Structure 1
């Protein structure tokens, strides 16, 4: 049987459970600030399966917010990639201005060398986590790092091969001997490398026009998620998608509008919808404007009148 370390918070007094889980997570991946709305009586279960330099860790745990700050990265960086196959529940992650949402069957990819915030859903989640040293991924670091924040499907293709292997390994380690651990670690490293290479190569092989259209759709989805942020600018959007501002401008010019006009029009549409909503009748017009990223009421009124021919108050 492979060497395992099992930890269950229910083996501890209620007051000690969350602190112990925080320490366990810090030793598993890298030091992090953790918080939870269930901290008073935290429930978490984890198995650590050692495969030489690679660690696989099936776990089920309550709501949790992981935060690895730039300061923590500077203080301690084991230079490992973390992958999570989401088996149950949901979660989201953010790196600076980049975000991703994960559902069952998705594989989340992270790095101890990056600051991030990860939040699981309100219900307990079940994952199969992997910690793999960066040096074991047989790709240039500059290429491999592009996978951080990517959402990979564990339901099809190369991602499914990795997901199936991890699921099978986590379900029964009794069929393996301790001397199998290094060989199994090599298998995990090879599958992770294959997933990274396949995803990155697929991006390169995609016809330029399809790649551009896909990127534009991703950017528009990003804009819609951040419409309420008055600091949503072309510069921020470009950084979040690892492209230059000139490239961003060209993508939108190909569709006949500018980045600024697209943001403005979506904000105005949302504001108009709220103004017409009887449930929001008590909310002042300026509050609705601020809700959709218009920090100055006068700018909102002028843009609204230009777009719809009437002032915002008339829609009510």
Structure 2
């Protein structure tokens, strides 16, 4: 079934029927221009719904959960656009190729800032538990399209959804078997190695910071985008640290720049050049950071042989 729905309330009613009760919101005054496309294909044990709309916020609230007897799992594949998805207090940034597993038995939210396309595989709980004995362990985590197995599954789903209406019933069932087999393989692989701990995430982010100190665009927001997290999640990972992530970046950048200033080879560079190389906006920015860190300007660390 394929329809174009311009009326927001009609669209919300259809989504509730296809998935589960949920709340949808958008910026004031945007309902009149709201547009959406829905395409759904019923398979043997699951069904796939391809959803695309203009900017939207979707929330599965606590009061919605009591209104469904056997809440399914939703495997949400980000095909176009980007979104922020949150469940169990974790928020991740989804880009094309990424996907997540959402439990409709618990609250969650999805925020789409712009137009997007997202095929959603609706999987009954009994089927999901045949694929992996503990599906809830994956809630709140991104399955990245940059990983070979996840990217293969996401690509296959995208191709299958685009052609599903042209397939015979027999071939559609074969496609479903392949999708579930690939999904089961991805989850089995992840279950063996387990999700990253907070300490592992922190170590990864610190290594990324160390590798990109010279990049002037290195910020909590850019780091969050690289790892597919929200900026809030990146700040939360640093909550147990002595320094916030912003101050941690500045400290490493100032330390590295000071070593460069003190180096015997630094005579090839002016202080302004070094400021730009180490990711500062200009010399005054570097000087301000040096004073905050060391109580002295960068010129204080220039070797005497250069000042004599």
TM-score (norm 2): 0.64
**CA offset digits 1:212-246 (Å, max 9, x no partner):** 7523247887899449x9xx7xxxx7xxxxxxxxx
Does residue 63 in structure 1 map to residue 55 in structure 2? Answer: yes
**CA offset digits 1:248-269 (Å, max 9, x no partner):** xxxx9xxxxx9263349849x7
Counterpart residue number, 1:52: 44
Higher radius of gyration, 1 or 2: 2
The 1:72/1:158 distance shift into structure 2, 3 A limit, reads same
Instruction: Return 5+ residue gaps in structure 1 as ranges.
Output: 11-16, 238-251, 253-257, 271-306, 311-316
Counterpart residue number, 1:169: 160
Provide the secondary structure at the position in 1 that maps to 2:105. Answer: coil
Distance apart, 1:57 and its partner CA: 1.8
Aligned to 1:27, which of 17, 21, 42? 17
Task: Give the whole-Å Cα distance in 2 for the aligned partners of 1:259 and 1:200.
Answer: 27
Counterpart residue number, 1:6: 2
CA RMSD of aligned residues (A): 3.5
Task: Give the whole-Å Cα distance in 2 for the aligned partners of 1:115 and 1:219.
Answer: 28
Task: Give the whole-Å Cα distance in 1 for the aligned partners of 2:230 and 2:149.
Answer: 31
Report how many aligned residue pairs link the two structures. Answer: 232
Does residue 127 in structure 1 map to residue 118 in structure 2? Answer: yes
Distance apart, 1:85 and its partner CA: 1.8
Distance apart, 1:96 and its partner CA: 4.4
The 1:80/1:309 distance shift into structure 2, 3 A limit, reads same
Counterpart residue number, 2:279: none
Distance apart, 1:175 and its partner CA: 4.4
The 1:180/1:107 distance shift into structure 2, 3 A limit, reads same
**Does the 8 Å contact 1:77/1:113 carry over to 2?**
no
**CA offset digits 1:273-316 (Å, max 9, x no partner):** xxxxxxxxxxxxxxxxxxxxxxxxxxxxxxxxxx8799xxxxxx
Does residue 151 in structure 1 map to residue 175 in structure 2? Answer: no
Aligned to 1:18, which of 8, 11, 17? 8
**Does the 8 Å contact 1:63/1:120 carry over to 2?**
yes
Provide the secondary structure at the position in 1 that maps to 2:194. Answer: helix
Instruction: Return 5+ residue gaps in structure 2 as ranges.
Output: 207-219, 252-291, 296-308
TM-score (norm 1): 0.62
Provide the secondary structure at the position in 2 that maps to 1:168. Answer: helix
